[in-house]
Amino acid sequence: MTSSSNQTDKLWSLLEGQGLPTDDRNHHAFLRPLVLRPETEEARGVIEDFVVRSSVGKNRGVNQLAKFRLHWQYVLLNLCTVLFQHRWLIVSLDQNAYSQDEWLKLHGLSYSCMRDVISYLEAEGLIEIIRGRKYANDPSRTRLYPKSRLSGLLKGLFGLIEEEIRPPYISINAGVSRWKETIAGLSSDHNEVVEMTTINNFLKDHEWTCKAPVRLVYKSHILNGGRLITPFQNLPDKKVRIRINTLIDQQPICEVDFSANHLRLNLAFNAKEYAGDSPYEDIGAIAKLDNRDQIKDFMTVAMGASTETEARKALYQKGFNDDLIDRIKEATQERFPKLELFSGWGIYAQNFEGQIIKDVLLQGVAQGIVCLPVHDAIAVQRQHAEWAKEVMLETWSRHMDGVKTMVKVDMAAPSVGS
At a CB cut-off of 8 Å and minimum separation 6, what does 136 contact? none
Q: Are residues 96 and 230 in the same domain?
A: no
Q: What is the pLDDT of residue 384?
A: 98
The CATH number covering residue 218 comes to: 3.30.70
- Cα–Cα distance list, 372 to 206, 340, 361, 393 (Å): 11, 30, 7, 17
Any domain includes 300: no
Q: Are residues 120 and 196 in the same domain?
A: no
Q: Are residues 222 and 371 in the same domain?
A: yes
| pLDDT category of residue 135 using cuts at 50, 70 and 90 | very low
Any domain includes 286: no
pLDDT digits (tens, 9 = 90+) for 149-191: 999 999 999 999 999 999 999 887 764 556 666 666 677 888 8
Q: Taking the mean position of all CA atoms in its chain, how far away is CA 154?
A: 21
Are 342 and 308 contacting, i.e. CB atoms less than 8 angstroms apart? Answer: yes
- Cα–Cα distance list, 384 to 58, 248, 251, 254, 381 (Å): 54, 12, 11, 9, 6
At a CB cut-off of 8 Å and minimum separation 6, what does 357 contact? 228, 373, 376, 378
Q: Are residues 28 and 92 in the same domain?
A: yes
| Residue 213, domain extent | 165-260+347-411
Q: Are residues 86 and 133 in the same domain?
A: yes
CA dist., res. 163 & res. 106, Å (int) = 15
207-211-213-219 Cα dihedral, nearest 10 degrees: -140
- End residue of a domain, out of 125, 143, 162: 162
Q: Are residues 199 and 158 in the same domain?
A: no
Are 407 and 389 contacting, i.e. CB atoms less than 8 angstroms apart? Answer: yes
- End residue of a domain, out of 109, 141, 162: 162
Q: Are residues 214 and 254 in the same domain?
A: yes
pTM of the predicted model over 0.75:
yes
Q: Are residues 44 and 175 in the same domain?
A: no
Does residue 292 have a pLDDT over 70? yes
- Cα–Cα distance list, 32 to 70, 113, 164, 213, 282 (Å): 12, 16, 10, 11, 43
* Number of separate domains in the chain: 2
- End residue of a domain, out of 162, 187, 222: 162
Q: Buried (b) or exposed (e) across 238-250, using 16+ Cβ within 10 A?
A: eebbbbbbbbbee
pLDDT digits (tens, 9 = 90+) for 318-348: 999 999 999 999 999 999 999 999 999 988 8
At a CB cut-off of 8 Å and minimum separation 6, what does 299 contact? 260, 262, 263, 280, 332
Any domain includes 276: no
Any domain includes 266: no
Q: Are residues 122 and 184 in the same domain?
A: no
Q: Are residues 178 and 248 in the same domain?
A: yes
